[in-house]
Amino acid sequence: MVLGTTSGAGKSWLATALCRWLSNQGLKVAPFKAQNMSNNARVVVGPGGSLGEIGSAQYFQALAARATPEVRMNPLLLKPEADTHSQVVLLGQVSAELTAMPWRGRSERVWPAIQKALDDLRADNDVVVIEGAGSPAEINLHASDIVNMRVARHAQARCLLVTDIDRGGAFAHLYGTWALLPPQERALIHGFVLNKFRGDAALLAPAPQMLQDLTRVPTVATLPMWWQHGLPEEDGVFDDRSRSQGAVHTTVAVIAYPRLSNLDEFQPLKNIPGVRLLWARSPAELAGLQPSDWVVLPGSKATAADLAWLRAQGLDAAVAAHAQAGGRVLGVCGGLQMLGEALIDPNGIDGNGPGLGLLPLVTVFETAKTVRHTRARFAPLSGAWAALSGVEVSGYEIHHGQTAQHPAMAAKGDVAQEVLPGLAWQNNAGNVLGLYLHGLLEDPAALQALFGAAAPTLEQVFDGMAAYIDRHFAPGVLTALTAADCETSR
């Protein structure tokens, strides 16, 4: 199990690397995270062949493990819709009952399903790599914990505790986390990992030994800072320091509204030579864009609220100005819905409101959620997106809204060009494209058509990560973590 001293310490990254390293040893491996809070989700297999949602991190970990992603790998997914409210997805399906329950009261209701999912995965695999959430030392949540030490105790997992040394205070974070755990839980910590270190590791001495003297837990790895590893970020926007190298010929500005979702699908753009990925939260960040540059409205877990935020920032006028100048605009899922004329919500799912009016479409929110994999071929496109004409692409859909031509506008002859049946439309000028299909920019054929280039494959990314931890962990540690007769270092 991989635990962290904080959110963002590197749990997801390390768990993914371990999945591939263990798979490379010939083991049958599966990932597991009891509860994930993220609006980055993927469509995976559920019971009886049904489809459901899990967090993107466990989806990528399953691929790294060479396993088929499935709902047992992330039995509980919380998708934030507001600062104090989340949609609850249990075993891939939205649960209105659990969504309405108080946070603390939910734990005992969902624990049996979490326990069964973990036990079943353990029975079906040689190794399960478990990821924790936040910090196990959040003592205000310890009594209702279902994702950190309760899982570790149930599985008697051998735990690594990782910290982000680039933040400073790493040894205090490690010691404080360890010290706040009760003795039976401390005994499950088998090693400390220092992540994102810059400089000469020899300069860390004597701190690792001093920490081991205090805790009897060794520091088993110091992982150097690595910006270009290629794994999509789980929750945060990308750091400018991790953008691709070379002379920039295209800027892709993604509007970073508060409830943006599925941001991981833009990861490949970081690895396309000459493409700069920019996260925009104000009109000033869109100033100076050329018509060949893109403005992207990504997915959203709260389309109406994020559209209101976009207007409050003045970004609606900036996006419209870019479109009027012939600049490329792309809307994905919630972004597609924003590009239309209106949002209609008869069932109280998301919210009503006027759209940006860049496509003559209207979206109606329905109680049933569309969750599916999709493969489709683009019809002929015009203008800025013509390179996608005839390209067959794969992706996935996760949305409540259903979008169609605006009846009154269509009657007057203002009709959007439907370029994927029921999935994608472009304006008559050809520079504004909206689609429900997530994953367009992960599809090699689409990247080749749009940029004449390819991003590193996920297989290359996973193998690189496995080789990285193999180099930087102390000899024998990774093997010992999965040995049946592994003894603690205490």
- Rounded-to-integer distance, Cα 390 and Cα 377, Å: 6
Are 157 and 151 a contacting pair, CB within 8 Å? yes
Q: Is 438 a catalytic residue?
A: yes
CB < 8 Å & 24+ apart, contacts of 455-460 = 455/230, 455/268, 455/269, 455/271, 455/272, 456/230, 456/271, 458/60, 458/63, 458/64, 460/230
- Rounded-to-integer distance, Cα 454 and Cα 271, Å: 8
Nearest CA-CA partner of 446 in 459, 455, 456: 455
- Rounded-to-integer distance, Cα 283 and Cα 218, Å: 49
Q: Residue 189's beta-bridge partner residues?
A: 159
| Total residue length of the chain | 490
Are 38 and 16 a contacting pair, CB within 8 Å? no
Catalytic residue among 19, 159, 173, 333: 333
Positive or negative CA dihedral for 444, 449, 450, 454?
Answer: positive
Cis peptide before 206 (omega within 30 of 0): yes
Q: Residue 261's beta-bridge partner residues?
A: 299
Sheet of 85-90: strands edge to edge? 35-37, 76-82, 85-90, 93-94
Are 337 and 352 a contacting pair, CB within 8 Å? no
Nearest CA-CA partner of 290 in 404, 149, 431: 431
Pairing of strands 392-405, 250-255: unpaired
Burial of 184 (0-12, 13-18, 19+ CB in 10 A): exposed
Tokens of 353: 């409101």
Q: How far is CA 144 from CA 37, 72, 85, 302, 309, in A?
A: 16, 21, 18, 28, 34
- Rounded-to-integer distance, Cα 324 and Cα 200, Å: 52
Catalytic residue among 190, 399, 406, 438: 438
Pairing of strands 189-197, 260-261: unpaired
Pairing of strands 85-90, 93-94: antiparallel
Q: Which residues are catalytic?
A: 333, 438
